[in-house]
Amino acid sequence: MEPLRVLELYSGIGGMHQALRESCIPAQVVAAIDVNTVANEVYAYNFPHTQLLAKTIEGITLEEFDKLSFNMILMSPPCQPFTRIGLQGDVTDPRTNSLLHILDILPRLQKLPKYILLENVKGFEVSSTRDLLIQTIENCGFQYQEFLLSPTSLVLKEFPKLESEHPEKNTIVAENKIERKKIEPNICFDNGRQCSGKEAILFKLETIEEIDRKHQQDSDLSVQMLKDFLEDDIDTNQYFLPPKSLLRYALLLDIVKPTCRRSTCFTKGYGSYIEGTGSVLQTSEDVQIENVYKSLTNLSQEEKITKLSMLKLRYFTPKEIANLLGFPPDFGFPEKITVKQRYRLLGNSLNVHVVAKLIKILYE
């Protein structure tokens, strides 16, 4: 069988390419396209034999697309126009223009591709851009399925059956929704209060539901522990949280230990911003986090920093985040790429294992 000719759009550091390899389907990436020069350096470092076009997608003409003669498109368009914490500009956000250009070109191609896989964030599924995408591919005669997937519930476990009972219909598989009610800071150091018949230590700004969910995830023995993804023999000094950050964001940190089986999503702001950008690792495992937090009341700033420093909290290294995202051990970065740039690039990437399984389902 002839290998598929794959066009990789918004190629970034090559998450889609890596997923294609992992899927083991017979395929060759005929071209990867991205405008980000730093991402392109990392891509070229890991996939030196792939044609890499450093240009905007809007700048590629119908004729140029036709010349590439591809029969599969893998793409991960910018998520900022759709993400829940953004402005949700949708079609009015200029970052959507490249995807609109693809949707304009698609019906006019000399030969339609056989397969298309598009990855984006939660929020895309209720956007006008998504509606336009569906309208375009339906007009082109494609069948399609949609999935809303969380790597936390899928990776390293048996992948759930994703085929629709009615393949002629589109499907959205949704993750569990958790009602979030923030706890006011004035009770975050409470010694515990009665809830659902059991004691819960509310030492951080999180809900009872969040605490329960984290305990459940850490109790799931079918998922690997974080320690399996950590680097050995690294100088961790540059990764420890600075005292100011410890003090200012103590109540907002998502803290995990090497024995945990979960982490929050790592975003491109990791290492620069604290809130909502990813988990931090507690490296002094013998120190009880609850005891440290409960003892902070009425301490001076210096004493609080001393107490919090006992936890030895550090950022995950870029290599560790790449491991968690499913990139293989031989995936690397050119030396000149800074730690901050690596975090940004990884935060814009995807989970290789999940996408590999989706490519396999699409192909089979």
The residues assigned a catalytic role are 79
H-run or E-run covering 136: helix 128-139
Q: In whole angstroms, what is the distance from residue 47 CA to residue 13 CA?
A: 9
**75 secondary structure, DSSP code:** E
**Phi/psi at 307 (nearest 5 deg)?**
-65, -50
- Tell me which residue has tokens 């405008």: 35
The crossing angle, in degrees rounded to 10, of helices 97-105 and 128-139 is 10
Q: How far is CA 350 from the centre of its chain?
A: 5
- Give the number of C-alpha atoms closer than 13 A to the C-alpha of residue 293, restricted to the C-beta side: 21
With 0-12 CB in 10 A as exposed, 13-18 as middle and 19+ as buried, what is 100?
A: middle
* Cβ atoms < 10 Å from Cβ of 357: 20
Residues near 160 by Cβ (< 8 Å), separated by ≥ 6?
154, 173
Q: In whole angstroms, what is the distance from residue 106 CA to residue 108 CA?
A: 5
* Cβ atoms < 10 Å from Cβ of 146: 15
Q: In whole angstroms, what is the distance from residue 319 CA to residue 32 CA?
A: 23
Counted residue by residue, the chain has a size of 364
Q: How far is CA 24 from the centre of its chain?
A: 22
- Candidates 285, 303, 321; CA nearest to 243 is 303
